[in-house]
Amino acid sequence: MTPLPQLKTRLAEIVDLHHASALIGWDQQTYMPTGGGAARAEQSATLQKISHEMFTAEETGRLLDAAAAEVAAAGAAGLDPDADEARLVSVTRRDYEKARKVPSELVAEIARATGQAIEVWTQARAQSNWAPFSPYLARIIDLERQLADALGYTDRPYDALLDQYEPEMKTAEVQAVFDAIKPDVIALVKAIGAKANPLGDKVLHREYDEQKQWSFGLEVIKRYGFDFDRGRQDRSVHPFTTSFSINDVRLTTRVDRNFLSPALFGTLHECGHGLYEQGFSQTLEHTPLADGASLGMHESQSRLWENLVGRSKPFWKFFFPKLRAAFPEQLADQTLESFYRAANTVSPSFIRVEADEVTYGLHIMLRFEMENDLIEGRLVAADVPEAWNARMQEFLGITPPTTAEGALQDVHWSSGLIGYFPTYQLGNLISLQLWDKINTAIPDLTDQIEHGEFGVLLQWLRVNLHQHGRKFTSPELLQRITGGGLNPAPYLKYLNTKFGEIYGV
């Protein structure tokens, strides 16, 4: 065997371990009885330890060097540098070097510190008291700075942290785009606030039979093109999507009897992630390339199907009569127009995960700015709630009445996930950059959506994005698809047009 197939065999075994780990993680959040928690934590740690050791071993490096030489020789003989095997070697080398840069003592220290911090944070949030959590966050920030130093960066330490979730994306580029967006979105929120719809989203908070909600969600995502021969949907407390193969993709969702949105829009959101995972080229199966390009690119897919399609007027032209047939009493007083407005209600709120399409980005920009301030030493952990509230006032014109509804609301910081938040907003931005291209490529897309037809849209995404998996980074994919980098213009135009029309601003 030449080195390349040897490398592929080794990587396939590591992929198997990752998928086994994902499977027991999925089970933990869906069907595992609570008693299984302690054993499951051990099983999960063991699988991760073995796969990490296998991946970072000298043998992997030796095979990578030899395979790189083999690919280079093939390249000289005409192999496309974008061919699966050439990309497998270059992407795996990037992963390998990153994984080897972080000393195992630092990995262990971060695991220990975050393990404690999550417990303290849970208590602190329940009591809405920042003080006990503050020293733990200070410790995590210190460790994350060490992590950035270990990973290496040329410009900003945050680059190294962001790179873990959004490879090759730079802090300066993200900041420039966020800074460009911020004043316009703040102005739009203010203008909408002056005209608020007094009914808001009350209709979504009526009582809706859970089984009917579940069935309606399934009906929509079948039409979207989610392949139930290669995936399934189950319930979980915190919705997520995971996969154990391109041909086994798991969606989870939650259902609230007194609120339509979690099951409805949550299902569409997770389906967007799932369509991406089902869309990787089968030639990438059993390799590390069968994964999303980045968290931001993944989120662009969930946001596209949840918001750009699922909260659009053409979508509801087709689905509102079906929803009303499922819930004739709850929706008796509703028209397509009133329901569409309810589903697109804009209102400044304290909690990020409950935010609407317009205000959501501001919640993320707040966190991005604060993370940079913390990592670069302009802000200390003890002052976070005050800095948080000042930004909430500046961005959204509201001040959280409690710290639980402010700086303590998210689990990310206690988990050591610094650099993760911006990927949510990158997803929104990228989804609109793609949407622009899609609408040019498919001029009658609106008409298709009004008729419940999504095949041409899904096919465009498959060809231009999904099939590539991790072969290209998100900046490379943006370049290939749009011919440029991050661009805030489509996002701003979308928000101003859609919500300008709804609110008359």
Asked whether position 423 contacts Zn ion by CB under 5 A, the answer is: no
Q: Which is nearer to Zn ion, 302 or 330 (CB)?
A: 302
Q: Are 241 and 249 in contact (CB under 8 A)?
A: yes
Task: Name the residue nearer to Zn ion (CB basis): 236 or 302.
Answer: 302
Q: How far is the CB of 78 from Zn ion (least distance, A)?
A: 40
CA-CA-CA-CA dihedral for 62, 64, 65, 68, to nearest 10: 160
Instruction: Kindly state the tokens that stand for 60.
Output: 């992997």
CB of 164 to Zn ion, least distance (A): 17
Q: Using the rule CB under 5 A, is 253 a contact of Zn ion?
A: no
The smaller minimum CB distance to Zn ion, of residues 171 and 302, is found at 302
What is the C-alpha to C-alpha distance for residues 49 and 148, in angstroms, rounded to an integer?
A: 22
Q: Which is nearer to Zn ion, 302 or 473 (CB)?
A: 302
CB of 477 to Zn ion, least distance (A): 18
- Measured between alpha carbons, how far is 426 from 364 in angstroms, rounded to an integer? 10
Least separation in angstroms between residue 354's CB and Zn ion is 15
Dist CA 454 CA 308 (whole Å): 13
Three-class SS state of 260: coil
- The stretch near Zn ion (CB under 5 A) out of 174-182, 294-302, 328-336, 350-358 is 294-302
Do 63 and 6 meet the contact criterion of CB atoms below 8 Å apart? yes
Task: Give the number of residues in contact with Zn ion, rule: CB under 5 A.
Answer: 1
Residues 299-318 that bind Zn ion (CB under 5 A): 302
Q: Which stretch binds Zn ion (CB under 5 A): 38-46, 145-153, 297-305, 375-383?
A: 297-305
373/270 Cα distance (integer angstroms): 32
Q: Which of 270, 299, 357, 371 is catalytic?
A: 270
Active site residue 405: no
Distance CA 374, CA 145 (A): 10
Helix 422-441 and helix 357-375, axial crossing angle in degrees, nearest 10 = 140
Query: Which window, 144-152, 212-220, 231-239, 298-306, contacts Zn ion (CB under 5 A)?
Result: 298-306
Residue 474 touches Zn ion, criterion: CB under 5 A: no
In whole angstroms, the minimum distance from the beta carbon of 24 to Zn ion comes to 21
C-beta nearest to Zn ion: residue: 302
What residues form DSSP beta bridges with 241? 251
- Closer to Zn ion by Cβ: residue 302 or 345: 302
Burial class for 332, CB neighbours closer than 10 Å (0-12, 13-18, 19+): exposed
Question: H helices then E strands: how many in the chain?
Answer: 20, 3
For binding to Zn ion (CB under 5 A), which residues are involved? 302
Query: What are the catalytic residues?
Result: 270
